[in-house]
C-alpha cells in the first residue's frame, strides 16, 4: 500500500473492496440487528482492510466485531462525551485517576501522542479511591478519545498514515498490579480493534543502553521509553511534526518538562545510550 496515498486515492484504487465491505456490513447489520452500519467513514473501512492485509473476508470479520463491540460499549455516547469534555479530569472519576495516574493525549500532524508520567503513578491509591467498574469506564473513555483523535486526524489530513506514539518517562509498567493490567487490556483492545490500529501504531523504544523490541499489553501499542539525553534523542529520532505538535499543547509541555528535567540532568546508571533503531512500522497486523 502507498504510505503517502490519500484516502481519496486509496478509495479509488481499492474501490471494489471498499464497496464490497460497506455492502457486506450493511447486509449483516440488517440481518442480525446487532450493530449499526450506516454512515461508515471511508478512512475507517480502509483501516480495517489494511489491518487485514486487504483480505475482504478478514476485514469483514474484523469490522463486524468492531461495530458490534461499539454498540455494546455505547461507543457513540462515550465519543460525544469526550468531544464535549476533552480533559480526562472531567470524565467519571477522572479527577482521581489523573491525580494518581497522570497522562495526557495530544493530536499532532503525525498522529496521536499519549504522554504518561510513570514516576508519579500511584496504583494503590487509585485502586483505593475507585471501583473496578469505574477504572474500566475511565480506560474506555481514554481509548475512545484516542480513536476519535485518530479519526479527526485522518479527516484533517486526508490520509490514514497516522501513528500512535506512547511516551513514558521510565521503563516498564511502573509496578502496575496484575489486577490493573486486566482492567487496561479491554481498553487497549478497544483502541486497536475499534480504530483498526493494529497495523498503524509506531514509535521508538528507549531502555537503558540497548534498543528494546517488545509488545506493550496487547502486542499492538508501541511505546517510546524515555531515558538519558531524551531531548536530543527525541529531536533526532522522533518525527518533527510529532515534536512540534506536542510543544504546542500546554498539557503536553508540562508533562514533557517533567521528563526533560529528570532525564537530561541526571546521569544514567546504565552509562551512555547507544543509537536506537526505529520500531517496525510495516503494514502487518500484530496478533
Contacts of 148 (CB under 8 A, 6+ apart): 79, 82, 83
Domain span at 134: 87-263
| Nearest of 45, 36, 38, 42 to residue 73 by alpha carbon | 36
Residue 129 has pLDDT above 80, yes or no: yes
Are both 240 and 129 inside the same structural domain? yes
pLDDT of 93 reads 93
User: Which residue has better confidence, 81 or 155?
Assistant: 81
Residue 285 lies in a domain: no
Residue 241 has pLDDT above 80, yes or no: no
Q: Report the b/e string of 183-193 with b at 16+ CB within 10 A.
A: bbebbbebbbb
For residue 255, tell me if it sits in a domain: yes
Number of domains observed in the structure of the chain:
2
Percentage of residues of the chain with pLDDT beyond 70: 49
**Cell numbers representing residue 144 in the block:** 475512545
CATH of the domain at 30: 1.10.8
Same domain, 169 and 40: no
Q: How confident is the model at residue 80 (pLDDT cuts 50, 70, 90)?
A: very high
Residues whose CB is less than 8 angstroms from the CB of residue 126 and which lie 6 or more positions away in sequence, other chains included: 96, 97, 100, 101, 135, 180
Mean pLDDT of the chain: 66
Edge-to-edge strand ranges of the sheet holding 163-168: 103-108, 111-116, 163-168, 223-225
What H or E segment, with its residue span, contains residue 224?
Answer: strand 223-225
> Based on the domain organization, do 157 and 253 belong to the same domain?
yes
What pLDDT shows up at residue 43? Answer: 85
2 within some domain = no
Task: Specify if 104 maps to a domain.
Answer: yes
Res. 74 pLDDT band, cuts 50 70 90 = confident
Question: Is the same domain home to 16 and 108?
Answer: no
pLDDT of residue 142: 84
Amino acid at each position: 500500500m502507498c504510505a503517502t496515498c490519500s484516502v481519496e486515492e486509496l478509495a479509488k484504487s481499492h474501490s471494489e473492496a471498499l464497496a464490497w465491505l460497506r455492502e457486506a456490513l450493511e447486509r449483516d447489520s440488517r440481518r442480525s440487528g446487532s450493530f449499526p452500519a450506516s454512515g461508515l467513514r471511508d478512512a475507517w473501512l480502509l483501516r480495517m482492510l489494511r489491518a487485514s492485509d486487504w483480505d475482504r473476508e478478514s476485514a469483514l470479520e474484523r469490522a463486524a466485531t468492531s461495530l458490534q463491540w461499539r454498540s455494546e460499549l455505547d461507543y457513540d455516547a462515550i465519543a460525544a462525551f469526550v468531544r464535549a469534555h476533552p480533559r480526562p479530569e472531567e470524565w467519571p472519576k477522572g479527577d482521581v485517576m489523573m491525580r494518581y495516574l497522570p497522562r495526557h493525549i495530544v493530536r499532532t500532524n503525525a498522529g496521536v501522542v499519549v504522554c504518561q508520567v510513570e514516576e508519579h503513578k500511584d496504583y494503590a491509591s487509585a485502586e483505593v479511591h475507585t471501583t473496578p467498574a469505574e477504572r474500566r469506564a475511565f480506560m474506555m473513555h481514554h481509548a475512545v478519545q484516542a480513536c476519535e483523535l485518530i479519526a479527526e486526524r485522518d479527516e484533517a489530513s486526508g490520509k490514514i498514515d497516522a501513528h500512535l506514539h506512547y511516551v513514558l518517562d521510565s521503563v516498564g509498567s511502573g509496578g502496575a498490579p496484575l489486577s490493573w493490567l486486566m482492567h487496561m487490556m479491554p481498553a487497549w483492545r478497544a483502541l486497536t480493534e475499534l480504530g483498526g490500529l493494529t497495523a498503524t501504531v509506531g514509535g521508538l523504544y528507549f531502555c537503558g543502553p540497548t534498543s528494546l523490541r517488545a509488545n506493550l499489553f496487547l502486542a499492538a501499542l508501541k511505546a517510546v521509553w524515555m531515558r538519558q539525553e531524551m531531548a536530543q534523542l527525541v529531536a533526532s529520532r522522533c518525527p518533527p511534526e510529532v515534536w512540534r505538535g506536542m510543544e504546542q499543547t500546554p498539557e503536553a509541555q508540562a508533562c514533557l518538562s517533567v521528563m526533560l528535567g529528570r532525564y537530561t540532568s541526571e546521569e544514567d546508571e546504565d552509562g551512555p545510550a547507544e543509537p536506537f533503531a526505529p520500531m517496525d512500522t510495516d503494514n502487518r497486523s500484530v496478533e
